[in-house]
Amino acid sequence: MELRNKTAIITGAGKGIGKAAATALAKEGVHLGLLARNRAELEALQATLKDTYGIQAYVASADITNKTEVDQAIGNLISELGSLDILINNAGIAQFGTLLDMESEQWERIIQTNLMGTYYVTRAALPTMLEQQNGSIINVASTAGERGFATGSAYCASKFAVLGLTESLLQEVRKSNIRVTALTPSTVNTDLALNAGLKIGDEDRMMQPEDVAELILATLQLPQRVFIKAAGIWTTNPQ
Q: What does the alpha-carbon distance between residue 228 and residue 129 come to, in Å, rounded to a whole number?
A: 18
Which residues 6+ apart lie within 8 Å of 127 measured at CB? none
Above 70 in pLDDT, residue 101? yes
Asked if residue 169 has pLDDT above 80, the reply is yes
**Confidence label for 201 from pLDDT (cuts 50, 70 and 90):** low
Decide: pTM greater than 0.75. Answer: yes
Confidence label for 238 from pLDDT (cuts 50, 70 and 90): confident
User: By 3-state DSSP, what share of the chain in percent is helix, strand and coil, each rounded to 5?
Assistant: 50, 15, 35
Residue 227 near residue 179, CB atoms below 8 Å: yes
CATH number among 3.40.50.720, 3.40.50.2300, 3.30.590.20, 3.40.710.10, domain 7-233: 3.40.50.720
Rounded Cα distance between 86 and 203, Å, is 30
pLDDT of 203 > 90? The answer is no
Which candidate, 74, 181, 77, places its Cα nearest to that of 135? 181
pLDDT at residue 202 is higher than 90? no
**39 sits in which H/E element:** helix 39-53
Q: How confident is the model at residue 42 (pLDDT cuts 50, 70, 90)?
A: very high
Half-sphere exposure of 108 (CA within 13 A, CB side): 3
Q: List pLDDT tens digits, range 125-167.
A: 999 999 999 999 999 999 999 999 999 999 999 999 999 999 9
Name 206's Cβ contacts closer than 8 Å, sequence gap at least 6. Answer: 187, 188, 189, 200, 235, 238, 239
Average pLDDT, the chain: 95
Catalytic residues: 155
Phi and psi of 94, rounded to 5°?
Answer: -140, 140
CA distance 142 to 190: 13
Length of the chain as a residue count = 239
Check residue 190 and give its pLDDT: 82
pLDDT band at 64 (very low <50, low <70, confident <90, very high): very high
Could you give the 3-state DSSP secondary structure of residue 31?
A: strand
- Residue 198 pLDDT level (bands cut at 50, 70, 90): low
Sign of CA dihedral 193, 38, 13, 156: positive
pLDDT of residue 199: 66
In 3D space, the residue among 164, 18, 24 whose CA is nearest the CA of residue 91 turns out to be 18
pLDDT at 195: 67
Residue 175's pLDDT band, with cuts at 50, 70 and 90, is very high
d(CA 169, CA 113): 19
CA distances from 229 to 45, 104, 120 (A): 30, 33, 21
Q: Taking the domains of the chain in order of start, what are their residue ranges? A: 7-233
User: What's the DSSP call for residue 88?
Assistant: E
